[in-house]
């Protein structure tokens, strides 16, 4: 039976993971995601799982590597400076093709930054962060309910492609409380993991590894990885299209700024403006084709981000210079208000002479 | 005819890449024999380090994971916690364990993780071409201490086993050497005991093995064995530092 409860975003991350079959959590405290390890430390023993407060983010992600390599659903969560530390392990996990989930409840940077919400980790999440040619499947929830739903999707997709998935939220989503519908623990049919290192009883040796010492071998490994990434791009792009078809201006946003954009768009629409919203649910794979089509149809774009402008580069690339791509951003630690987002929308509507 | 000597089942039938005279090979064999003796090969998972033993999974005949530099104890923790009835061991050099991975080894030991650590101390970074390690002896020349390790600016060699022996977590701690047959026999005994500690669920075990690096020490294999005996043992005294029986008391 589905139950309706009030929940904090960070708790939803934890409970959503458990309901998705996650049975081990390795983490290290950092604000604003501390409720995740705190919740896990209470709940994991109840479901027969493993909780370890690691000595560092570096250790936590490497514990995830070990556990994921042994074939179980494993996760870690952190916030921006901690996620930077995890990047070493994430690169190894991607190289060894292990499924797992990494959550970033992002805060402002660079450096120690601050504790307030930010979207300035977009580049790190979608372009690497760790070394080498690898990709994370990056999910960007915009509500507490969606956090729960996407935690499930993240584990399933990670398993499907043997690839690490990241859930990129921000401090506001982590701290906000909203009513959610908790589904019963699903029938967690996990795919078989014949590659896992579980002991070689009646089978050949399994090795979890990201080493390719011979140059050409390593190139082959990378070609296979790239092939997998193309497959993910073909199958896993997710976005919410809210009236882009008959819009003159398409707002592109994700997470918290998409929520704010939504209210601002409603206000502009009430005044008869033709504005639509393209809310990204996966940041990678990125909806290149969708944006190219909208650009071809002559629509202008407004990217709203809580950063100096990171995702705007992907929108510009995808639109191929066919129409203008505008930007409204607030830097680390500042959240745009609905009024500011509305004013930004009106500015570019006005500029276009469609008033 | 009765067969009295052969390859350990826990070793693959493969020529290893270690330099001639390097004692990594001997130590691999001792580890494999311990696994065979305890009949746990099919449920053992090896964690390979970054260092000369990075390819250990090509030699040990058991499931294996290759870890990032220094992180093997964290990886082993992840494996062991989700598969508590399996036998998990790491095989790590001194650069791997005592430098970049110092936090990982201290905390795995302190948590009393029921894993086994085989710690190869050859007082130098082998794989990267002979740079100074945390275990390099005072005055020892390496490519990054070309005038000899000056303890005033480069610190003193770290005695890892003594350091871990200050923690309450470990159940078995020993330092052994493989510079002659008598010591190889003792090393074998300690390595076996370290695996037995894990099989019995008694907690964290580590054997530090003094090992040679003829290539980077710039010595012939036999001279290297002699150098180990005369220079390393005084700095790194051999012995059993702790046993599960003492812990139980
Ligand atoms: C993060 C990182 N830093 C540095 C290296 C380069 N590296 C490879 S092996 C090694 C030293 C290994 O020395 P040790 O652990 O003593 O093992 P040995 O080679 O002597 O057996 C280093 C520094 C690396 N692979 N990764
Ligand atoms: S470099 Fe040194 S430690 Fe490495 S295999 Fe050669 S002799 Fe052994």
User: Mean pLDDT across the stretch A102-106?
Assistant: 98
Continuous segment of H or E residues that includes residue A339: helix A338-351
At A75, give phi and psi (nearest 5°). -145, 165
Residue A333 has pLDDT above 90, yes or no: no
**pLDDT for the residue A183:** 78
DSSP 3-state percent helix, strand, coil across chain B (nearest 5): 40, 20, 40
Tokens representing residue A11 in the block: 């708790």
Q: Distance, in angstroms, between B92 CA and closest chain A CA?
A: 15
Residues with CB under 6 A from ligand 2: B 18-19, 22, 24, 52, 122, 126-127, 213-216
**Is the sign of the CA dihedral B16, B17, B19, B23 positive or negative?**
negative
CA–centroid distance, B22 to ligand 2, in Å, is 6
CA–centroid distance, B126 to ligand 2, in Å, is 5
pLDDT-derived band of residue A351, with 50, 70 and 90 as boundaries? low
Q: Search chain B and give the residue with CA nearest A209.
A: B66
Q: Is the peptide bond before A110 cis (omega within 30 degrees of 0)?
A: yes
DSSP lists the bridge partners of residue A302 as A251, A326
**pLDDT for the residue A353:** 46
Distance CA A282, CA A78 (A): 19
Question: With an 8 Å Cβ cutoff, are A67 and B82 in contact?
Answer: yes
* Residues in A 248-267 with any Cβ partner in B closer than 8 A: none
Could you say which DSSP state residue B138 is in?
T
Question: With an 8 Å Cβ cutoff, are B63 and A197 in contact?
Answer: yes
**For strand A3-8 and strand B239-242, is the pairing parallel, antiparallel, or unpaired?**
unpaired
pLDDT tens-digit map of A119-149? 999 999 999 899 999 999 999 999 999 999 9
User: Mean pLDDT across the stretch A282-307?
Assistant: 98
Inter-axis angle of helices A9-19 and A144-161, nearest 10: 40
pLDDT tens-digit map of B12-55? 999 999 999 999 999 999 999 999 999 999 999 999 999 999 99
What ligand 1 atom has the least distance to the C-alpha of B24? 21
Indicate which residue's Cα is closest to atom 6 of ligand 2. B19
The tens-digit pLDDT sequence of chain B (249 residues) is 788 888 999 999 999 999 999 999 999 999 999 999 999 999 999 999 999 999 999 999 999 999 999 999 999 999 999 999 999 999 999 999 999 999 999 999 999 999 999 999 999 999 999 999 999 999 999 999 999 999 999 999 999 999 999 999 999 999 999 999 999 999 999 999 999 999 999 999 999 999 999 999 999 999 999 999 999 999 999 999 999 999 888
Residue A116 CB-density burial (10 A; 0-12 exposed, 13-18 middle, 19+ buried)? middle
Distance CA A100, CA A66 (A): 11
Report pTM: 0.97
At the topology level of CATH, where does A4-190+211-235 sit?
Rossmann fold (3.40.50)
* Percentage above 90 pLDDT, chain B: 96
Q: Is A209 in CB contact (< 8 Å) with chain B?
A: yes
Tokens representing residue B191 in the block: 């390595």
Residue A187 has pLDDT above 70, yes or no: no
A8: helix, coil or strand?
Answer: strand
**pLDDT for the residue A189:** 82
Residue A167 has pLDDT above 60, yes or no: yes
**For strand B87-93 and strand A207-208, is the pairing parallel, antiparallel, or unpaired?**
unpaired
Question: With an 8 Å Cβ cutoff, are A59 and B104 in contact?
Answer: yes
Q: Distance, in angstroms, between B86 CA and closest chain A CA?
A: 7
Q: Is A190 in CB contact (< 8 Å) with chain B?
A: no
Nearest to B61 among A26, A58, A205 (CB): A205
The residue written with tokens 């305890």 in the block is B38
CB A64 within 8 Å of CB A115 = no
Sequence-distant (6+) residues with CB within 8 A of A352 are A248, A249, A300
Q: Distance, in angstroms, between B44 CA and closest chain A CA?
A: 6
Question: With an 8 Å Cβ cutoff, are B78 and A63 in contact?
Answer: yes
Indicate which residue's Cα is closest to atom 5 of ligand 2. B18
pLDDT-derived band of residue A352, with 50, 70 and 90 as boundaries? low
Nearest to A210 among B42, B66, B106 (CB): B66
Distance CA A142, CA A46 (A): 29
At A240, give phi and psi (nearest 5°). -110, 125
**pLDDT for the residue A355:** 41
Residue A354 has pLDDT above 50, yes or no: no
Question: With an 8 Å Cβ cutoff, are A198 and B63 in contact?
Answer: yes
The answer to whether A4-190+211-235 and A240-349 have equal CATH topology is yes
pLDDT-derived band of residue A103, with 50, 70 and 90 as boundaries? very high
Q: Give, in words, the CATH class of A240-349.
A: alpha beta
The gap from C-alpha B78 to its chain's centroid, in whole angstroms, comes to: 20
Residue ranges per structural domain of chain A:
4-190+211-235, 240-349
pLDDT tens-digit map of A229-269? 999 999 999 999 999 999 999 999 999 999 999 999 999 99
Distance CA A167, CA B118 (A): 37
């Amino acid at each position: 039976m589905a139950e309706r409860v009030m929940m904090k975003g960070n708790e939803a991350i934890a409970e959503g993971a458990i309901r998705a079959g996650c049975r081990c959590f390795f983490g290290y405290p950092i604000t604003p995601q501390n409720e995740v390890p705190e919740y896990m430390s209470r709940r994991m023993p109840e479901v027969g799982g493993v909780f370890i407060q690691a000595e560092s983010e570096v250790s936590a992600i490497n514990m995830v590597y070990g556990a994921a390599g042994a074939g179980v659903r494993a996760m870690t969560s952190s916030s921006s400076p901690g996620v930077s530390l995890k990047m070493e392990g994430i690169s190894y996990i991607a190289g060894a093709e292990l499924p797992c989930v990494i959550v970033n409840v992002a805060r402002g940077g660079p450096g120690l930054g601050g504790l307030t919400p930010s979207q300035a980790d977009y580049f790190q999440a979608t372009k690497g962060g760790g070394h080498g040619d690898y990709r994370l499947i990056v999910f960007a929830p915009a509500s507490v309910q969606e956090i729960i739903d996407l935690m499930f999707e993240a584990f399933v997709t990670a398993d499907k492609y043997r690839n690490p998935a990241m859930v990129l939220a921000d401090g506001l989503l982590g701290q906000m409380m909203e009513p959610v519908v908790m589904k019963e623990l699903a029938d967690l049919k996990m795919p078989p993991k014949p590659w896992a290192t579980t002991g070689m009883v009646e089978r050949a040796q399994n090795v979890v590894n990201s080493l390719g010492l011979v140059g050409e071998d390593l190139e082959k490994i990378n070609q296979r990885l790239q092939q997998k990434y193309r497959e993910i791009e073909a199958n896993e792009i997710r976005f919410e299209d809210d009236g882009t078809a008959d819009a003159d201006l398409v707002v592109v946003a994700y997470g918290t700024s998409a929520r704010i954009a939504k209210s601002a768009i409603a206000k502009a629409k009430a005044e008869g403006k033709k504005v639509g919203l393209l809310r990204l649910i996966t940041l990678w794979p990125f909806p290149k084709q969708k944006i190219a089509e909208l650009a071809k149809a002559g629509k202008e774009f407004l990217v709203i981000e809580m950063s100096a402008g990171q995702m705007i580069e992907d929108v510009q690339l995808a639109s191929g210079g066919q129409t203008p791509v505008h930007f409204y951003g607030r830097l680390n630690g500042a959240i745009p208000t609905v009024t500011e987002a509305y004013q930004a929308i009106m500015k570019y509507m006005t500029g276009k002479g469609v008033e | 005819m009765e067969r009295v000597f052969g390859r350990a089942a826990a070793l693959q039938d493969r020529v290893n890449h270690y330099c001639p005279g390097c004692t990594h090979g001997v130590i691999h064999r001792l580890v494999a024999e311990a696994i065979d003796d305890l009949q746990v090969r099919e449920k053992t998972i090896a964690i390979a380090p970054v260092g000369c033993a990075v390819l250990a999974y090509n030699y040990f005949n058991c499931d294996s994971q290759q870890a990032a530099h220094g992180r093997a104890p964290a990886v082993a923790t992840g494996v062991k916690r989700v598969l508590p009835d399996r036998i998990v061991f790491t095989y790590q050099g001194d650069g791997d364990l005592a430098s970049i991975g110092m936090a990982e080894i201290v905390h795995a030991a302190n948590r009393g993780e029921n894993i086994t650590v085989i710690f190869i101390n050859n007082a130098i970074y082998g794989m990267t071409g002979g740079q100074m390690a945390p275990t390099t002896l005072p005055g020892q020349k390496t490519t990054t201490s070309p005038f000899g390790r000056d303890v005033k600016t480069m610190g003193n060699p770290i005695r890892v086993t003594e350091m871990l022996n200050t923690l309450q977590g470990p159940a078995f701690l020993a330092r052994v050497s493989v510079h002659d047959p008598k010591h190889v026999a003792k090393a074998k005994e300690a390595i076996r005991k370290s695996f037995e500690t894990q099989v019995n669920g008694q907690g964290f075990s580590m054997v530090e093995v003094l090992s040679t690096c003829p290539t980077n020490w710039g010595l012939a294999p036999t001279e290297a064995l002699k150098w180990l005996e005369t220079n390393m043992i005084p700095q790194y005294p051999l012995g059993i530092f702790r046993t599960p029986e003492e812990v139980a008391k």
